[in-house]
Structure 1
């Protein structure tokens, strides 16, 4: 590999501009020439998007205060995700954002969950043991009115197209060159490295290294370098989505959580923005037609489907086997996509960008070892996220349609997820399993407990010895989280 001085990003949108912003923030624009080529004919899928807490740290690293960008992106706060009807019995559980003040009450919840799976305790969801759970229940912002002993963790809901605009403004102000054009041809050297891009305006852009942020089109990593795509369709059935925005009900307090509700052939999201509510139905086209998906989503939203302008999205679920190939790094959808159930798309994009920059700063000239490390870590992350998302389906008790009978099948389950679920269901030491596999897990202890306890996943015939906690201690733990929420958060 040769020394990198010129970095060219192909594709704008949220992923491309995240890369441009991070690169111009970390690397000296006097030393590196950064160019982003964006087609004016390809729009961003701005249907209302959610994030994990990693986006908060990303925006802060760029120098943003929340007041700088949230109002420009119709953004609201996100304390976690409510999962409704995933067992088909109107059940509801909460996936919280966990931080240090949750440690002690969370341990009580973990004990209760272990008692339940061992057959000697009642079904208890985790929301009341986490501060973010109480904030979500009361529609409270995670911004404390008083000084907290520890920093709260939270995510956001936002308009993805507007966030891309904010990052574009920042990047260009820091020296990133923005070209509005379509790439019509790619030139490679004799070894296969990309050396230049031919544009439809007659221009040609040369570069030392290229970042493919061209979405599912995967112009460089797929069409040019022919890096294989590994589909996840055997495990994750959903390959389509239909979306529609609805007006925000201003008389009601703005929700501070994402809602995910299981449907006949997938699930629907509701994402509250300050300007509107983003709604979408993620489904499998093998089991539902576009028209059926529209009708089912409209019925849930009390809309007349014949009068609604729906938007349809085809999803390519899977990943590139080697997202860094030759002198091209694929990020965002060109790298891979796992359905949006846990809002992980931007998190994976962020990790890709930041790890690439880290490797770039460690060596003067990227080498084969850098590339191998990147590909190993990104593959580990993608597989870890895929397993957690797949866990939502295979733990469900639903068998009420062909879709759910297939989605809950364990025929194509990964060996690690199968072992994890077996450890939980058998009543054995689940925490030891998590510890031993920590390096390969994208999600950690609180998330797995929230999912498995929330779904009440267990062997109902199992009865094992378990040291039960004093009921007063359980009540105190829930009361502690509620007290902290009420004491520090009022708006």
Structure 2
């Protein structure tokens, strides 16, 4: 005879899974929107609450993404046209690096995959021509057409292209605060319960969060808590989360940002990262305004000194009353999921904004989170939490090594910051890869396949900084004439696309 409990389950179905997200902003609403669009597992119902504190001010100036954001938005059931319109979105072909090396005044990190005939074909052609002729054209011109399109202001897509697709992969620049509000509307329409109140106390026992005590007098209990409380990481720390600092490898720890008016933007379909005395500045152009920032090390500059250098870099653009100063915490939690608490965004870890990884980690962990939910039961959360944490830590450390290489392989020595940044100890992962690549260029088998930043990205940065393999036996098999023909064909292809795709500003109606 069935038990009373089983009778209850059969008549009412499984108990709804309650997920409580603490913290709004882009991270919280990205998670809420994505999960709400995907929770259709075995007919189990979902209850989702997002608690947002009115005491935490918005921080967005302008945010850049990598091209994987297109997949997130499409998979979250969001209209690309509405997203671009409501979030001041512009397109991003990649990043232009200026002043990072004396060998190459500027270089470009695109999103496209280089043409491949043999493994690392574009890289080998470039290295062969470079070794034979010396000081050949910059590598991004060999790796494809995207950097040419970017510099010529060409849109990556036409109006007639299907949403989220273009002639080359592309990311976005967006207004982070507008993006959060845009997602909030979608998430609440999908049934997410939005509570505006501050969390005064996190109550926990036996390695799990029991309930949250809110300032409005309410208490919130849930099956899973998602920590989106930023650098404070209030929930994951309550369960013993320990922070692993990355400050030894990446020296920047501060930022000053400022919005600029429409008259100061150029509608560039790429982000610009310019090396400065104690770090680097970024340029992000939105539709009606821009975002500028200086990411630097407080060991070498005070906030006032940083703003002075920042202002000098953008004469007449920056209003000090609009500037915002931030302290950055570089590193990650030892585990991104502990007990019944999953940390995402800044609460899980942060790498400086160098390669636009902030929202990338959020979209990636949202996908991981949904994968966990598909097979989660009352008694297997621990094994799934360990799986989630392991993947996030591996991904974070892989990307950290990539960003580290931007500094370590520069030949700048003109300020104390650059002397210290280039001589700082290599992480074990970076040291391993550089040792491996003494005899060859980065290749596809060097990576796990989880990180976006694989062989093509490493080639773009390493070759752009002037790094070359010390020896490469494979170059002997590359024909010099074929290599140069490959280069010329890419230019013809880029010129042809420039005549069929609209200008970036024209596409957006600017």
TM-score (ref. length: structure 1): 0.91
Match in the other structure for 2:441? 430
d(CA) in 1 for partners of 2:82, 2:386: 38
CA contact (8 A) 2:256 2:294 kept: yes
Deviation at 1:339, TM superposition (A): 0.2
Q: Which consecutive unaligned segments of at least 5 residues does structure 2 have?
A: 1-13, 504-510
Match in the other structure for 1:452? 462
Structure ranking higher on relative contact order (CA contacts 8 Å, 6+ apart): 1
1:214 equivalent to 2:226? Answer no
Q: 1:103 to 1:71 in 2, by over 3 A?
A: farther
Give the alignment partner of residue 180 of structure 2, picking from 147, 164, 185. 164
Give the alignment partner of residue 370 of structure 2, picking from 335, 348, 357. 357
Q: 1:212 to 1:117 in 2, by over 3 A?
A: farther
Report SS of the residue matched to 2:61. coil
Deviation at 1:25, TM superposition (A): 0.7
1:17-416 to structure 2, matched below 5 A, reads: 17-28=29-40, 31-88=45-102, 91-99=105-113, 102-103=115-116, 108-115=121-128, 121-129=134-142, 130-144=144-158, 152-189=168-205, 191-222=206-237, 224-249=238-263, 254-303=267-316, 308-365=321-378, 366-409=380-423, 411-416=424-429
CA contact (8 A) 1:12 1:38 kept: yes
Q: 1:193 to 1:122 in 2, by over 3 A?
A: same
d(CA) in 2 for partners of 1:162, 1:387: 31
Give RMSD over aligned pairs: 2.7
Deviation at 1:30, TM superposition (A): 7.0
d(CA) in 1 for partners of 2:382, 2:492: 51
Report SS of the residue matched to 2:202. strand
Deviation at 1:125, TM superposition (A): 2.0
Q: 1:343 to 1:287 in 2, by over 3 A?
A: same
Deviation at 1:52, TM superposition (A): 0.6
d(CA) in 2 for partners of 1:47, 1:265: 21
d(CA) in 1 for partners of 2:77, 2:406: 36
Q: Which consecutive unaligned segments of at least 5 residues does structure 1 have?
A: none
Report SS of the residue matched to 2:322. coil
CA contact (8 A) 1:145 1:489 kept: no
CA contact (8 A) 1:104 1:477 kept: no
Stretch deviating more after TM superposition (356-365 or 208-217) = 356-365
After superposition, the C-alpha distances for 1:233-253 in whole angstroms (9 at most, x for unaligned) are: 000000000011111238x75
Report SS of the residue matched to 1:70. helix
Corresponding pairs, count: 481
CA contact (8 A) 2:113 2:456 kept: no
After superposition, the C-alpha distances for 1:307-326 in whole angstroms (9 at most, x for unaligned) are: 55321011111000101000
Report SS of the residue matched to 1:249. helix
After superposition, the C-alpha distances for 1:251-272 in whole angstroms (9 at most, x for unaligned) are: x751100000000000000000
Deviation at 1:78, TM superposition (A): 0.4
